[in-house]
């Protein structure tokens, strides 16, 4: 349905469950690759975590770069947010509308937190509008500068014989 909301948190505390979260394993970095089935006009992002140093302190957004890994995050992001501690997912961060008006894939990189060894996230909310995408495969074309008529025999033209007066 065009123009529909992706996901919006009306009561984030209902969505946040203390036993469901994502936690980094080796260090404080987390990376999310989010593919969409259509094009998204991203209007808002909410991030909820616990009120400790494991709350992420920075968010880097990359638009339309599928399959990013931690090796790829050194490139310049499309937008960066300095995050505040938010346990209820009330704070909404607004991406640049011009930059994030046609997103088919979103990568979210959380490079650091407020000082803990690992980062925990309980909730990520995305707000925006979805429209169907118009994707097509690669078209292979061959162009001829000077066609050779012997290469293009058309049987229906061979049977027509008219004289022009």
pLDDT single digits (tens) 123-138: 999 999 999 877 666 7
pLDDT single digits (tens) 54-103: 999 999 999 999 999 999 999 999 999 999 999 999 999 999 999 999 99
Question: What's the number of domains the chain is made of?
Answer: 1
In sequence order, what are the residues at sequence separation of 6 or more whose Cβ sits closer than 8 angstroms to the Cβ of residue 42?
95, 100, 101, 103, 106, 126, 127, 128
Q: Is residue 13 part of a domain?
A: yes
Q: Is residue 73 part of a domain?
A: yes
pTM, entire model:
0.73
Q: Is residue 156 part of a domain?
A: no
CATH number for the domain spanning 25: value is 2.60.120.470
* Domain region containing 20: 4-132
3-state DSSP of 50-78 = CCCCCCECEEEEEECCCCCCCCCCCCCCC
Q: Is residue 153 part of a domain?
A: no
Q: Is residue 99 part of a domain?
A: yes
Q: Is residue 32 part of a domain?
A: yes
Query: Which of 4-18, 38-52, 148-162 bottoms out in mean pLDDT, i.e. has the lowest?
Result: 4-18
């Amino acid at each position: 349905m065009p123009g529909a909301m992706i996901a919006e948190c009306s009561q984030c505390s209902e969505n946040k469950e203390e036993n469901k979260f994502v936690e980094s394993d080796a260090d404080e970095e987390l990376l999310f690759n989010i593919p969409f089935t259509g094009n998204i006009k991203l209007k808002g992002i909410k991030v909820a975590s616990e009120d400790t140093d494991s709350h992420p302190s920075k968010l880097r957004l990359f638009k339309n770069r599928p399959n990013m890994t931690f090796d790829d995050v050194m490139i310049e992001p499309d937008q960066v947010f300095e995050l505040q501690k938010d346990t209820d997912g009330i704070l909404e961060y607004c991406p640049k509308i011009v930059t994030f008006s046609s997103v088919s894939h979103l990568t979210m990189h959380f490079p650091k937190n407020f000082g803990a060894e690992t980062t925990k996230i309980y909730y990520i909310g995305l707000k925006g509008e979805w429209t169907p995408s118009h994707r097509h495969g690669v078209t292979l074309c061959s162009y001829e500068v000077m066609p050779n008529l012997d290469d293009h025999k058309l049987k229906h033209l061979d049977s027509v014989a008219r004289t022009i007066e």
